[in-house]
Amino acid sequence: MPLESTIICVDNSDFMRDGDFIPTRMQVQQDAVSLIFHAKTRSNPENNVGLLTLSDGRVVTQLTSDVGKVFSKLHLLPIEGKLDFCKGIKVANLALKHRQGKNHRPRIVAFVGSPLEVDTSEFTKLAKRLKKEKVSIDVVIFGDESSKEKFEEFITIINGKENSNSHLICVPSGANLPDTLINTPIIQSEDGSGLPNGYAASAFAFGINPEDDPELAMALRISMEEQRRVQEAEIGRSTDGEGGQQTLPANTRSSGPSLDNLTAENEMDVTRLTEDEQIALAIQMSMSQAENLNTNDVEMKEEALASGNSAQPEKKNEEQQNIDLFAASLNDPQFLRDVLRDLPGVDVDSDAVRAALEQVQQQQKKNSDDNNDPVKKKKDDK
């Protein structure tokens, strides 16, 4: 397995905002850098990888085999300025001279997705310098192929007649950059090592193999799960704010002033209510559900009679009896009091519970008065 120290030069110019690579050139470039980092460290655990930006020639991460140091900086790179290829390669070559493993082969992997503006004489001089110092370079052109001929000449000068350690890879717009690099010499080293056969760049979440760094993979997974929960909670709050605020006050308006004030103060945030207040609110909601059941059942029965559908009358009568019994139980204050008394930690003599039970009695009395009123009953029959 070859020992290498590699500086990956990232193109972070303004052209990286283009969307010809999904989602952007910058993001697919970051995925490709992750892929190369894993390929280098898998081929030999002693290999080191560093990170450099080509717009300003700044060494973002020194040579390291720690995946955490690289990924903590990779996804925070700014997109700014223009591509300065010669300056970035010179700084990368200088960083390789200070590598700890002097027996490591120096290599530069440069991503170029911007038009190349460089003096021809300086460009040729840089190639001859890299050849003299035996520094291998892999250039990946993606998106903008206007500088392809210049880089072909550049690689030819570095390799010479006998050497073939430097490579030029051209990836057209719209292609999958990481998957394209898998079968190139950048990933597959001289002895054929690198990533396993059939490996896909998207096989591991976040581009990280859990076997290589399980702690980082777990931390990223937990972070994504927390972010997902936060987004779901925000969506739930927005939904409650739009639909819940319109329906809940209408259901609670007839249940008494105490609970109306309670829900208004807490904005229906149940977690802020006391246990007794939550029980009272639950009783109120149960009563509303029972009334809705009766209303819906009457409407369904009227529709069935109007359409002449009178099949299975016995079954409907049984369902009606069950619904009536359920509604009667919910409207029976003594029944509710007995149920609440059996619950642990519930004080049936508290003000909130007593107020809820009194409202049940008032509602029951009101319903019985309405049923006994012949005038209202006649109107309802009509």
User: pLDDT averaged over the chain?
Assistant: 75
* Strands 105-112 vs 58-64: parallel, antiparallel or unpaired: unpaired
H/E element holding 272?
A: none
In this prediction, residues 270-295 reach a mean pLDDT of 61
User: Which one is predicted more confidently, 129 or 351?
Assistant: 129
Q: Which residue reads 């057209």 in tokens?
A: 172
Q: pLDDT at position 197, please?
A: 45
pLDDT in tens, 43-87: 888 899 999 999 999 999 999 988 888 888 888 899 999 999 999
Length in residues, the chain? 382
Report d(CA 16, CA 2) in Å as an integer.
Answer: 32
The predicted model scores a pTM of: 0.53
Nearest Cα residue to 59 out of 77, 44, 36: 77
Structure tokens at 54: 């080509």
Q: Phi and psi dihedrals of 61, rounded to 5?
A: -135, 130
User: Which one is predicted more confidently, 366 or 288?
Assistant: 366
Instruction: Classify the C-alpha dihedral 133-139-144-149 as positive or negative.
Output: positive
H/E element holding 112?
A: strand 105-112
pLDDT in tens, 153-168: 999 999 988 788 899 9
- 266: which residues sit within 8 A by CB, 6+ positions away? 272, 273
